[in-house]
Amino acid sequence: MIIAIDGPAAAGKGTLAQNLAQHFNYAFLDTGRLYRAVGYAVLQQNQDPSNEEIATKAAKAFDPKTINSILKNPALRNETTGEAASKVAVIPGVRAALLDLQRNFAEHPFFEDGTPAKGSVLDGRDIGTVVCPNADIKFFVTASAEVRADRRFKELKDAGKPANYDEILAGIKARDERDSNRATAPLKAADDAKILDTSNMNAIQVFQTALDMIAVDHA
C-alpha cells in the first residue's frame, strides 16, 4: 500500500503524512528532506546550489543505508536549506539520482530501525505524478500562500526564533514559483489526486478529512 502526498511548502502535508503513517502503521518518507540534504551538502562545500555538477554529485553520493541518520540533521529544517533544496531540485541529474531511492522505499518500506513495513507514506512535490504514479491513494494538500506564511511565522515565533511575515511570504511565493515552473517533475496535482485545501482547517480536521476520503474510496 502506497500513500502519496504532494503539495506546496507549509500546506500541512508533512503533518498529514505522519498522522496517516502512524494510523496505518506504515513507514514514512519526507522526500523534501532528501532535496534538503542535497542542498545542505552543497552549501557545506561553499558552493552554489544551482551548480549542476556539484549538486548531482552530492545527490549520487547518498547511501540508502545511512539515509535515516542523514535526514535527521536539524539544520535541514531551516529556510536557507529549504531555498537551497528548491534550487537543487530543478536539476534533472539530482532528481534522477533521488528517484530510485524514493521508489525503492515506496515498494520496500522500512521503519527507522530497519524493520520492514506493510505500507508507505511519501510526501513531496511529485510523488503522485512521477515517483509513484501507481500509488493506491493520492492527496494534493494545499492552502493559500498567506495562510502558509502565517503558519510558518507562528511556528518560528513559538520556537522563539526571529520571524518576519513579509519575508516568509515572499520566500514561500518564490519557492512555489520555482517548484511549479521547473521543466522536470513540477509541483502539480496528479489527475487522480484528492485535493485537500487546508486553509480553514487545523491538523486534526485535515487528518479526519483525509481518513474520510480514504474510507469512501476503499469501502
Q: Which positions lie near ligand C5P, rule CB under 6 A?
A: 9, 31-32, 35-36, 82, 85-86, 89, 124-127, 175, 179
Residue among 38 and 210 whose Cβ is closer to ligand C5P: 38
Q: Which residues contact 201 (CB under 8 A, 6 or more apart)?
A: 12, 209
**Taking the complex as a whole, how short is the minimal distance between the CB of residue 49 and ligand C5P, in angstroms?**
11
> Residue 180 or 205: which CB sits closer to ligand C5P?
180
Closer by beta carbon to ligand C5P, 25 or else 104: 104
Smallest gap from residue 123 Cβ to ligand C5P (A): 7
Least distance between ligand C5P and beta carbon 45 (Å):
19
CB of 182 to ligand C5P, least distance (A): 8
Closer residue to ligand C5P, CB minimum distance, 25 or 75: 75
